Structure 1
Amino acid sequence: MPVIHLVRHGQATFGADTAEGYDVLSDLGRRQAEVAGAELARRAPRDPVVVCGTLARQRDTAEIIVRTAGLRGAPRTDPRWNEYDHIDLVGRYGGSVPQGLSADTSTEASTDVPAGSRAASRGGSRGVQAVLDRALEAWMADTGEGGWQRFASGAAGALRELAAGLGPGRDAVVVTSGGVLAALCGGLLSAPPAGVVALNRVAVNAAITTLAAGSSGISLLAFNDHAHFTGDRRALLTYR
């Protein structure tokens, strides 16, 4: 049975005000990608197809994983694995864009924030998270052409096509983003909008979500696995 490993990209530039400025891996993000690659090497995926979105943070994470895990070939790109534009989303559905909103899904306080400033950061992060959550819920309720369903359907289609192309004994590694992961896993779990928002909120950088593609369809085996960022690597754990 083919196994599909969905990896969230590593941490991108923190606090950037535009999607373009955000779309660069930080030094920590590159290290996270290396650790995720080592974890995938340990799991030994079988002759894996490697795919990623077209965003720089996704492509760079995928390239680091390929190198670190010793995988063959260059990653294929597919824009359906791209993240949505959070700044545009909040502008359309959440009012004014809060200061400090980066162009990625999770705005939970990062564990790499210095201890002395973590409480203040957490308070501001909660406020930004609330705005993003409301905007996401409004987007999911929008049945128009630019609504959530179009985004979620694109991601689901990319997953179905990938799974259909995997023969027996072949796995896949996909580097994507938190919103795509929430959309796909929420769909597999038949989660209500609030459940999708909750999944979106807790996505960890370079965490691994595992799916199985069998004769009865695609099943979720593990969501947001970040055991490779525990113990002496806990300092590498971030949500944005």
Structure 2
Amino acid sequence: MATIYLIRHGQASFGAEDYDKLSELGCRQAEVLGHYLRDHGIRLDAAYSGDLLRQRETTALALASQPGEVPHHIDPRFNEVRNDEQVRHLVPVVAQNNPHIQTLVDKGLSSSKDYQKVIEAVFNHWVSPVCDEPRIQSWTDYSSGVCEALAAVMAAEGSGKTVGIFTSGGTIATVVAHVLGLGGEHAYKFYEPIFNCSITQLFYSGDKVSLSFFNDRSFLQVLGGQGGEELVSYR
């Protein structure tokens, strides 16, 4: 039996000119994640991430606490759902049946709560069979790429290994839905509640994979509490 830890990146810089980098809190979350893995004897044989900066930064900060060098492999199939692309091209379609979505977009989406409402509506349209927008990556292409990347990791690493995949919320949600045998219409249910730097554990043997636990952030609560820090965040 081998183990995969799916780890969401630390808090990114929402609202900043460049979103794709860790905030100060995000850096601290990744450091504490590394301390947690080290102190609980979780030694990674390999690490994988997408090529997004926030994913690579989280990987580097967490791996800094590992007792030895851990090879870090980059696979763009572990990148996040292309939210900006979807908002740009799908909002006009979604707004036809839900004008409130267009109102939120017109406000500028400076509020994280407003942004999440738009993402929910757009994501659920994107995974539906009626979405046929040719200018964006399709759900079928995205989800099949994620599942192929997961299978490639399992095949490459083999039995008895402990692997960390540092990725994003949409990717983790897609993997969990896939492992549970659920379609895309269920993926958002796993996407919305994922905490920054949370850990989801999978067990695999050969090409069989199962879910052990999902979205654990208790170590951030405990270690943050010990140091008087608030380390838990969604966005």
For the criterion TM > 0.5, the same-fold answer is yes
Tell me which moved more, 141-150 or 152-161: 141-150
Tell me which moved more, 131-140 or 162-171: 162-171
Q: CA deviation at 1:158?
A: 0.6
Q: State which of 100, 110, 127 in structure 1 corresponds to 2:109.
A: 100
Do 2:32 and 2:223's aligned partners in 1 also have CA atoms closer than 8 Å?
Answer: no
Q: CA deviation at 1:88?
A: 1.3
Corresponding residue for residue 114 of structure 1: none
Q: CA deviation at 1:90?
A: 1.3
Do 1:49 and 1:172's aligned partners in 2 also have CA atoms closer than 8 Å?
Answer: yes
- Per-residue deviation, residues 35-85 of structure 1 (Å, max 9, x unmatched): 111222234345511111101111111011110233413411110010122
Alignment length (residue pairs): 215
Corresponding residue for residue 225 of structure 1: 216
- Per-residue deviation, residues 169-221 of structure 1 (Å, max 9, x unmatched): 22111100000001110111223445311211011100011100124601111
Bigger radius of gyration = 2
Corresponding residue for residue 201 of structure 1: 192
Q: Quote the RMSD (CA, aligned, Å).
A: 2.1
Quick one: structure 1 residues 50 and 143, their matched pair in 2 at CA, closer, same or farther if it must change by over 3 Å?
same
Do 1:48 and 1:71's aligned partners in 2 also have CA atoms closer than 8 Å?
Answer: no
Do 1:10 and 1:61's aligned partners in 2 also have CA atoms closer than 8 Å?
Answer: yes
Unaligned stretches of 5+ residues in structure 1: 102-123
Structure 2 counterparts to residues 28-107 of structure 1, below 5 A: 28-95=25-92, 97=105, 99-100=108-109
Corresponding residue for residue 116 of structure 1: none
3-state SS of 1:90 partner: helix
Quick one: structure 1 residues 38 and 196, their matched pair in 2 at CA, closer, same or farther if it must change by over 3 Å?
same
Do 1:3 and 1:213's aligned partners in 2 also have CA atoms closer than 8 Å?
Answer: yes
Quick one: structure 1 residues 26 and 70, their matched pair in 2 at CA, closer, same or farther if it must change by over 3 Å?
farther
Give the structure-1-normalised TM-score.
0.82
Tell me which moved more, 197-206 or 229-238: 229-238
Letter in structure 2 aligned against 1:39: Y
Corresponding residue for residue 136 of structure 1: 123
Tell me which moved more, 165-174 or 28-37: 165-174
Corresponding residue for residue 5 of structure 1: 5
Q: 2-side partners of 1:172 and 1:144: how far apart?
A: 36
- Per-residue deviation, residues 111-139 of structure 1 (Å, max 9, x unmatched): xxxxxxxxxxxxx5443322211100111
Q: 1-side partners of 2:26 and 2:231: how far apart?
A: 9
Quick one: structure 1 residues 144 and 125, their matched pair in 2 at CA, closer, same or farther if it must change by over 3 Å?
closer
3-state SS of 1:68 partner: coil
Q: 1-side partners of 2:16 and 2:163: how far apart?
A: 31
Q: CA deviation at 1:94?
A: 2.1
> Is 1:238 matched with 2:229?
no
3-state SS of 1:211 partner: strand
Q: 2-side partners of 1:206 and 1:37: how far apart?
A: 10
Unaligned stretches of 5+ residues in structure 2: 93-101
Q: 2-side partners of 1:80 and 1:209: how far apart?
A: 18
Same amino acid, percent of matched pairs? 32
Structure 2 counterparts to residues 125-164 of structure 1, below 5 A: 125-141=112-128, 142=131, 146-164=137-155
